[in-house]
Amino acid sequence: MTRLRRSRLTLALGLGLLAIVAAVGVSCLLGPQPISLRAALDGVEPDRAILFGLRLPRAALAAVVGFALAAAGTALQALLRNPLAEPFVLGVSGGAALGGTLVMLAAAGLSAVAGPAGALLGSAPPVAAGAVAGAVLSTFLVFGLGRIGGRLVPEAALLVGIVFNAFVAGVITLLKMLAPPDQAARLLYWLMGAIGYESPATLAAGTVLVLLSVGTLGLLSARLNLLTLGDEEAASLGVDVKRTRALVFFAASAATGAAVALAGMVGFVGLIVPHLVRRLVGPDHRLLLPASALFGAAFLVGADALARLAFLPLGTEPPVGAVTAFLGGPFFLWLLRRQAREHDEATT
C-alpha cells in the first residue's frame, strides 16, 4: 500500500465516519416528538429519554445492520465477480431468516413441553445462531449450485439465489401457518426488515459478531482483490483459493446472519452501497470494504430515518426493509441493464 493509497484510505474512512455522524444526527433530531437537543443534554425529561433511550440506540442498531450488510455485499460481489451479488438477492438473508424462524418455532414448541428450556432456546443468542447457520448453509448451497462444469458461473449463482429466495419465502409462509395468527403478523413485519428496539445486551452481542466477521473480511480484503480475477489466477498469484473462499463465505454469512437476527430481511443495502462507494474509491477491496461498511451504516441510519419521517402524517412507519427494497429494486434493474449494455459494447 503506497502513501497515496494510505491517504485515500484515510480520506474514504473519514468521509464514511462523517456520513455516519450526519445520518445519526438527522435520525436523532427528527421524529414524531419534537425535542430540544439542549434540553436533552441538560437531562430534561422526556427529551433526554427520547434522545438517549430511543433514538440513539435505534440509530446504533441501524448502523450495525447497515455496516454488516454492506460489507457482506462487497465480499460476495468479489467472490461472484459480479456487482449484482448481494446477501438478499443471493438468498443468504432468506436462509438466515429461515434458520432464525426454525429456531423460534422450535422454541415455541419446546416451551409448550418444557417452559424454561423453550424460553432459553427462544432467547436472542440461539436465534442468532440459527440465523448464522441458515446464512452459511444457503451461501454454500447457492455457490455450490451456481457451478457449471466445476466453474462458478455468476449468472447461474444469481439465478439459484433468486429461486432459493422464492423457495424460502414459501417455506416461511408454510411455517407461518403453524404459528398463531398474531405471531404470524409480527413474523411478517420482522421479515420485512424492521429496525426496532433491542435490549443493550442483544445489540452488544450483535455488534461483536458483526465486528468480528467484518474484521475478518477486512483482513482478507487484499485476497479478495485476487479472487475477483478468477480461481485459477488467484491461485497462481499465491492464494489458497479454497480456504480463502471458505473463510470469506463464512464471515460474510455470519455478518448477514447477525444483521438478519437484529433487523430481519433488509435487502439491497449490500447492492447499492458498494456500487456507489466503488465509484468513489475504486475497486481495491482494502479501501472498498471498510469504506462500504461505513457508508452502509450511514445509509441504513438514513433509510430508517426516512422510514420514520416519511409516514409521519399517517401516524405509522413502514419497516426499513420496505424503504431499501423501494430504492434497491429499481437500482438492481438499472445495474442489470447497464451490465447488459456494457456487454454488448464489449462484444461489438
Partner 1 sequence: MRAARPTLLALLLAAAAPAGAITRGPGPTSAAAGPLLPVSSRGAAAGGATWVGRPPAAGARRIVTLAPSMTDYLVALGAADRIVGVTRVDHAPEVAGRPRVGGFLDPSPEAVLGLKPDLVLWVTDGGALAAVRRLAELSAGAFAILAVPVVTVADVPATARLVGEAIGEPAAGAALAARLQGALDRLGAGAAGRPHPRVLFVVGRDPLVVAGPGSFPDELLRLAGAVNAVGGSRPWPVYPLELAVAANPDLVIDAAFDEPAQGIERLAAIPAVRRGAVARLRRDDLLRAGPRMIEALGDLEQALRGAGPR
Partner 2 sequence: MSPHRLHGPPWPDPIVEVRAARHAYGQRVAVDGVSFTAREGEFVGLLGPNGAGKSTLIRLVAGLLSPSAGTVRLAGFDPHAAPRRLVARLCALVPQEPRLDWPFTVREVVMMGRSAHQGLLGVAGRDDLGAVEGALTACDLVHLAGRRVTALSGGERRRVFFARALAQEPRVLLLDEPTAFLDLAHQVAAMEMARLAARGGLCVVAVLHDLNLAAAACDRLVAMRAGRVVAEGPPGEVLTEERVRDVWGVPVWRGENGATGATVVLPNVGSHAR
**Which one of 111-119, 227-235, 298-306, 334-342 is the stretch in contact with partner 1 (CB under 8 A)?**
111-119
3-state helix, strand, coil in the chain (%, to 5): 80, 0, 20
Q: Take residue 203 and report the three cell numbers written for it.
A: 445489540
Task: Tell me the C-alpha distance between 221 and 235, whole Å.
Answer: 16
Q: Which residues are near partner 2 by CB under 8 A? A: 1-2, 81-82, 219-223, 225-226, 228-230, 232-233, 235-241, 282-284, 286
* Among partner 2, partner 1, none, partner that 46 touches (CB below 5 to 8 angstroms by kind): partner 1
CB of 154 to partner 2, least distance (A): 9
* Among partner 1, partner 2, none, partner that 235 touches (CB below 5 to 8 angstroms by kind): partner 2
Nearer to partner 2, 106 or 235 (CB): 235
Burial 175-191 (b: 16+ CB within 10 A, else e): bbeebeeeebeebeebb
* Among partner 1, partner 2, none, partner that 25 touches (CB below 5 to 8 angstroms by kind): none
**Which one of 13-21, 28-36, 234-242, 326-334 is the stretch in contact with partner 1 (CB under 8 A)?**
28-36
- Angle made by CA atoms 117, 122, 126, in degrees to the nearest 5: 100
User: In the set 10, 199, 236, 339, which binds partner 1 (CB under 8 A)?
Assistant: 199
Residue 208 binds to partner 1 (criterion: CB under 8 A): no
CB of 223 to partner 1, least distance (A): 34
The angle, 0 to 180 degrees and rounded to 10, between the axes of the packed helices 241-263 and 92-113 is: 60
Per CB under 8 A, contacts with partner 1 among 300-329 are 315-317
CB of 91 to partner 2, least distance (A): 22
Residue 205 binds to partner 1 (criterion: CB under 8 A): yes
Nearer to partner 1, 150 or 315 (CB): 315
User: In the set 123, 173, 236, 339, which binds partner 1 (CB under 8 A)?
Assistant: 123
DSSP 312: G
* Among partner 1, partner 2, none, partner that 197 touches (CB below 5 to 8 angstroms by kind): partner 1
- Angstrom distances, CA of residue 59 to CA of 98, 222, 293, 308: 26, 31, 15, 12
For residue 12, which of 302, 282, 214 has the smallest C-alpha distance?
282
Residue 177 binds to partner 1 (criterion: CB under 8 A): yes
Strand blocks (E) in the chain: 147-148, 151-152
Task: Tell me the C-alpha distance between 60 and 1, whole Å.
Answer: 32
CB contact at 8 A, 321 and 265: yes
For residue 219, which of 281, 283, 290, 271 has the smallest C-alpha distance?
290
Residue 197 binds to partner 1 (criterion: CB under 8 A): yes
For residue 223, which of 200, 261, 249, 199 has the smallest C-alpha distance?
249
For every residue of 199-264, which 3-state class applies, written as one string? CHHHHHHHHHHHHHHHHHHHHCHHHHHHHCCCHHHHHHCCCCHHHHHHHHHHHHHHHHHHHHHHHC
Residue 49 binds to partner 1 (criterion: CB under 8 A): yes
Nearer to partner 1, 180 or 330 (CB): 180
- Angle made by CA atoms 91, 94, 100, in degrees to the nearest 5: 145
Count of residues in contact with partner 1, rule CB under 8 A: 50
Residue 26 binds to partner 1 (criterion: CB under 8 A): no
Contact residues toward partner 1 (CB under 8 A) are: 31-35, 45-46, 49-50, 53-55, 100-101, 104-105, 107-108, 111-112, 116, 119-120, 122-125, 127, 177, 179-183, 185-187, 189-190, 196-199, 201-202, 205, 261, 315-317
